[in-house]
Chains A and B, each alone.
Chain A
Amino acid sequence: MAYILLRHRDIPDLNKFDVYQKNGGFAAFKNSVTNKKPSEVTDVVKNSGLRGRGGAGFPTGMKWSFIDNKNWPHYVVANADESEPGTFKDREIMEGNPFQFLEGLALASYAVGANVAYVYLRGEFWELGTALDQKIAEMEEAGYLGEKLFGTDYSLRIYTHLGAGAYICGEETALLESLEGKRGQPRVRPPFPPSFGLYGKPTIINNVETFTNVPMILANGAEWYKSIGTNDSAGVKIFSLSGRVRKPGNYELPFGTTFRDLIYKHGGGVQDSRAVKAIMPAGASSSLIPVNDNVLDTPMDYATVRTLGADLGSASIIVIDDTVSMKWLVNKTVHFFNHESCGKCTPCREGTYWMSHITERIQHDGSSGDVDLLLNVAKQMQGKCLCALGEFSTMAVVTGIERFPQDFNKL
């Protein structure tokens, strides 16, 4: 199947303006601005079944339709804060196929009536940000961005904005706070960004991969996109495969591909031909799935992975083999969340801190009393945190202890 997102793997130099334009680039945007009403663009995206690719999987067209048309101006923000451990797909998109991402961002902006869009990049993507500025300038020079585009009344400018090292800024309201020049701490929701977003104005925020799908959907139609993937999850997903596989990397595959195909057919199987012990499908924010043949043969989409007691999330598939101790693994994930906790809400700020002390102890000489305490603290945090960071920090802990008791000396 030809690539839909990672098209630079089919077409060399696709990140160059001329090459992108020659390969159908910007036609969807120009056609939409000159021939379609903004709401028509939203309808196509709605009908395509596209869901957010940042991890939450919220229906994209529906999100766009929530924008408050009584409050102006509107903004669109691309979440390029890619910081979930095990995730490196947006990076490849922005390096290899930046114009398709930018065109998708432009289409979204037209659809919701925004004249300004921001790309919020994690600070470590410094060079990517500089390159994107150059691409934006090229689009402006060619008349695809700027004032009164294609002889219509529609104007659009895109700006990049660099973060400075904070995983929490991938949470959409924390991102907005950070973009506004404050500490990146999540807001109380509701209200949600489509009513109250950047500078208090209606804002649509989507992940880079989500936007990158949009030009192809507009060009080929909603039915085309829906015909790929599964009923629950339309289209393709870029699976970032990491951990103990022979060939880690990004793999763009239709939803419905099995774990087995991803790990063995594409990922080259496990290093040293060892057995897969567990899969973390959503990066560090995952529940741990103990692996057996049934699991390996499970098709990957948002609904079906849930039946395995985990969420597909951002599809950042970390493969864990039988040489890995869950004690060690959970210590690592808890330290990550403790470091990245923004400090605003007590359950997460205190909970991740105390969990990290206990996991450190368990690593070295813990007793079963410590394991019970760890489970206790984790369960007390659940359902009480201001945002998903605190909630997800407990996933590997709870599922690690409950599904791999032998690793915690709990028999």
Chain B
Amino acid sequence: MSLATKYPMEVEQILSKYPPEGRRSAVMPLLFLAQREEGYVNKAAMQDIAKILEITETDVASIIRFYTLYHDKKEGRYRMQVCTDLPCALRGAEEFMEAVCDRLGLNVGETTADGFLTLEAVTCLAACDKAPMFQTQGPDGLKYHENMNVDKTVDLIATLKRKS
């Protein structure tokens, strides 16, 4: 089902933000829309977006691959993106990441056996005063979880599982 059929109001609203000569700008919000349900942009959605904006599928693919938050592969239902950049690392982020890997039995980049959670390391999330921290990217969008420790993380994952 095309995006325009599935989300007519949202597609209309997105396109209305940009002038006719700037229609291509809509590719970014449209990709977030396409990614909403399954956490990644499938080939059909890529073709659909290319058609709406009159650009090539290669154009769309190159944008997906350029940006960290777009995905073209299905992974965990939630992505847990931990900042391990310099300011967070100065406040225990690397130790936190190690402890999380230990507790979940995962290496960075891997997904839990039940397919629920993928663990990723990301660059600065503008929360340097609240380290250790991470964001989750999932069906409910992008959310920050700050001043975290391993126990709070495990609790959060349990909560997310219950709500799913």
Q: Do A and B come from one complex?
A: yes
C-alpha gap A64/B162 in the complex (Å): 52
**Contact residues, B41-66 vs A (CB, 8 A):** 53, 55, 62-63, 66
Known: A85-B85, A164-B67. A180 touches B22 (CB 8 A): yes
Query: Distance in Å from the Cβ of A215 to the closest Cβ of chain B?
Result: 24
Is the CB–CB distance between B63 and A182 below 8 Å?
yes
**Nearest-neighbor residue (CB-CB) of B81 within chain A:** A124
> Does A244 count as interface, using CB distance less than 8 angstroms?
yes
Known: A240-B128, A332-B85. A123 touches B25 (CB 8 A): no
Known: A83-B126, A162-B28, A183-B62. A242 touches B87 (CB 8 A): yes
C-alpha gap A166/B26 in the complex (Å): 17
Partner of A127, one of B87, B124, B129, B143: B143
> Does B21 count as interface, using CB distance less than 8 angstroms?
yes
> Does B69 count as interface, using CB distance less than 8 angstroms?
yes
19 contacts between A and B (CB under 8 A): A82-B126, A85-B86, A86-B86, A88-B126, A124-B125, A124-B126, A124-B142, A127-B144, A159-B17, A164-B28, A164-B68, A166-B67, A181-B63, A184-B66, A248-B128, A284-B86, A284-B124, A336-B86, A340-B123
Is the CB–CB distance between B142 and A127 below 8 Å?
yes
Is the CB–CB distance between B19 and A199 below 8 Å?
yes
Query: Distance in Å from the Cβ of B128 to the closest Cβ of chain A?
Result: 4
C-alpha gap A240/B87 in the complex (Å): 11
C-alpha gap A333/B86 in the complex (Å): 7
Is the CB–CB distance between A164 and B31 below 8 Å?
yes
**Contact residues, A307-348 vs B (CB, 8 A):** 318, 320, 324, 329, 332-333, 336, 339-340, 342
Partner of B124, one of A84, A180, A181: A84
Is the CB–CB distance between A180 and B25 below 8 Å?
yes
Partner of A243, one of B90, B141, B143: B90
> Does A163 count as interface, using CB distance less than 8 angstroms?
yes
Known: A86-B124, A88-B128, A181-B27. A244 touches B141 (CB 8 A): no
Chain B 3-39 interface mask (CB, 8 Å, partner A; 1/0): 0000000000000011101101111110110000000
- Chain A residues near B142: list those with CB within 8 A: 123-124, 126-127
C-alpha gap A66/B122 in the complex (Å): 38
Is the CB–CB distance between A199 and B21 below 8 Å?
yes
> Does A249 count as interface, using CB distance less than 8 angstroms?
yes
**Nearest-neighbor residue (CB-CB) of A130 within chain B:** B141
- Chain A residues near B55: list those with CB within 8 A: 181
Q: How large is the interface on B (under 10, 10 to 19, 20 to 34, 35 or more residues)?
A: 35 or more
Partner of B126, one of A122, A184, A342: A122
C-alpha gap A308/B142 in the complex (Å): 40
**Contact residues, B127-164 vs A (CB, 8 A):** 127-129, 135, 141-144
> Does A165 count as interface, using CB distance less than 8 angstroms?
yes
Known: A181-B26, A244-B90, A336-B123. A249 touches B85 (CB 8 A): no
C-alpha gap A241/B130 in the complex (Å): 11
What is A's interface to B at a CB cutoff of 8 Å?
82-88, 90-91, 116, 122-127, 159, 161-167, 178-184, 198-199, 240-244, 248-250, 283-284, 318, 320, 324, 329, 332-333, 336, 339-340, 342
Shortest Cβ-Cβ A-B pairs, 5 listed: A165-B68, A181-B24, A164-B67, A248-B129, A242-B128
C-alpha gap A46/B89 in the complex (Å): 40
- Chain A residues near B67: list those with CB within 8 A: 123, 163-166, 184
C-alpha gap A244/B24 in the complex (Å): 44
- Chain A residues near B129: list those with CB within 8 A: 88, 240-242, 248-250
- Chain B residues near A240: list those with CB within 8 A: 128-129
Known: A85-B128, A199-B21. A165 touches B86 (CB 8 A): no
> Does B70 count as interface, using CB distance less than 8 angstroms?
yes
Partner of A164, one of B21, B69, B85: B69
- Chain A residues near B66: list those with CB within 8 A: 166, 183-184, 342
**Nearest-neighbor residue (CB-CB) of B125 within chain A:** A124
Query: Distance in Å from the Cβ of B29 to the closest Cβ of chain A?
Result: 7
Known: A85-B86, A167-B123. A182 touches B69 (CB 8 A): no
Query: Distance in Å from the Cβ of A172 to the closest Cβ of chain B?
Result: 16
C-alpha gap A250/B70 in the complex (Å): 30
Is the CB–CB distance between A336 and B22 below 8 Å?
no
- Chain B residues near A126: list those with CB within 8 A: 141-143
**Nearest-neighbor residue (CB-CB) of A91 within chain B:** B126
**Nearest-neighbor residue (CB-CB) of A323 within chain B:** B90
**Interface hub of A85, A163, A320 (most chain B Cβ within 10 A):** A85
Query: Distance in Å from the Cβ of A76 to the closest Cβ of chain B?
Result: 14
C-alpha gap A186/B85 in the complex (Å): 24
Is the CB–CB distance between A181 and B25 below 8 Å?
yes
- Chain B residues near A83: list those with CB within 8 A: 123-124, 126
- Chain A residues near B89: list those with CB within 8 A: 332
- Chain A residues near B87: list those with CB within 8 A: 85-86, 242-243, 283, 318
